[in-house]
Structure 1
Amino acid sequence: MRIVVINHLTLDGVMQGPGRADEDTRDGFELGGWAAERGSDEAVARAWGQRLSAGGGYLLGRRTYEDVLSHWNSRDSPFRDSLNRAPKYVASNSAEPLTWPNSTLLSGDVPAAVAELKQSPGQDLHIMGSGALITSLAPLGLIDEYLLCIHPVVLGRGRKLFGDGFAPTDFELVDAAPTATGVIVANYLPRS
């Protein structure tokens, strides 16, 4: 099983709150919704759709799991049924139950649990959002691929995908394409 990060980023590396103003207001972040301005970009939707429609499941931090559940599962969403059917692995030390079908809690030594998952046969597990989870897995070589949609905006603040303290990493660019709205859809593999 492979672990693939799929995320929106600004030019300055911010990944916080791309979809909605109220998505992630931690640390007083008031700039949420910055990716939604280009939300109708067909090339971005196609890149995400191709990757996610290939099957597999999700590996999420608790915060992202709860946000996805509350946003996409509580309304008449075209993603609702596929999200409910997909396996979801949730990194969390919270004892609160996971209420979404096909959800498995990963607690304690999450990187060890993910390393064990990677040894299992199966389709890709996709990480969306979940910056703390990514930061805990990347230095251990547990992330196999990054599909990043880099938006032509600089926010100057917010939580970054590759923030301070991230382990130095070299990447190989596999594919990149600009979209009509100026987003760059880039696919990277970390080099060992």
Structure 2
Amino acid sequence: MGEISVFESVTLDGVLQGVGRPDEDTRGGFGHGGWGDGFADEVIGRFVGSRMEGTGALLFGRRTYEDLLGHWTSVPETNPFTEVLVNQRKYVASRDADTALAYPHSTPVTGDVTEAVSGIKRDVEGTITVLGSGELVRSLHAGGLVDEYVLLIHPIVLGSGTRLFGAADRADLVLEESVTSTTGVVIARYRAK
């Protein structure tokens, strides 16, 4: 049986929107895109690399799937992410049953997402990593399906933007691991109780 691991970059005030690029996610007039620029270092690189090795499958919301894979497959420099993203088994949650998935090893997840993801957890061995996909994460959190949260907490406060948990109900978590990067990013791994 698989476990759901949510892997997110967030600000100190919990914003996950638009971490990578200025035009990544401007919904709601969000003007702080690219806020994660300048924080990457070797500590984060090693941690992310070690986490990707243990992944049995990736789980995305459709918008994150298209953006993330579209970006990393168009980057000309060699990097450790493109090969993993393309070759790993991927599940993509979408409200549209006719969604066309452009990348190999991709399976659409439609209908009741919590029911579908419960089935995926039963069928997949290892870690099922959710990258980005804030709306999907909030649904999985509400459904009690998340086993762990790996948060890269950046030392920045934006004051606006989509937050990871939104108005979620209380959830008690247990800190399993924490590492601090040279740029002040706290990498915290929490287990759901």
The answer for the alignment partner of 2:187 in structure 1 is 185
What is the TM-score with the length of structure 1 in the denominator? 0.94
Which sections of structure 1, spanning at least 5 residues, go unmatched?
none
The answer for the alignment partner of 2:144 in structure 1 is 141
Alignment counterpart, residue 134 of structure 2, candidates 131, 134, 139 = 131
The answer for the alignment partner of 1:172 in structure 2 is 174
2:33 counterpart SS class: coil
1:86 is the counterpart of 2:80: no
The answer for the alignment partner of 1:3 in structure 2 is 4
Cα pair 2:52 2:84 within 8 Å, conserved: no
Displaced runs of 4+ in structure 1, greater than 3 A? Answer: none
What is the TM-score with the length of structure 2 in the denominator? 0.93
Indicate the percent of aligned positions where both proteins have the same amino acid. Answer: 45
> How many angstroms does 1:55 deviate by?
3.4
The answer for the alignment partner of 2:163 in structure 1 is 160
Distance 2:124 2:22 in 1: 38
Distance 1:66 1:26 in 2: 16
Which sections of structure 2, spanning at least 5 residues, go unmatched?
none
Residue identity in the other structure for 1:66: E
Alignment of structure 1 residues 2-151 onto 2, 5 Å: 2-39=3-40, 41-76=41-76, 77-78=78-79, 79-94=81-96, 95-151=98-154
> How many angstroms does 1:120 deviate by?
1.8
What is the root-mean-square deviation of aligned Cα atoms in Å?
1.2
Distance 1:127 1:66 in 2: 14
Question: Between Structure 1 and Structure 2, how many residues are aligned?
Answer: 189
> How many angstroms does 1:121 deviate by?
4.1
> How many angstroms does 1:75 deviate by?
3.0
1:124 counterpart SS class: strand
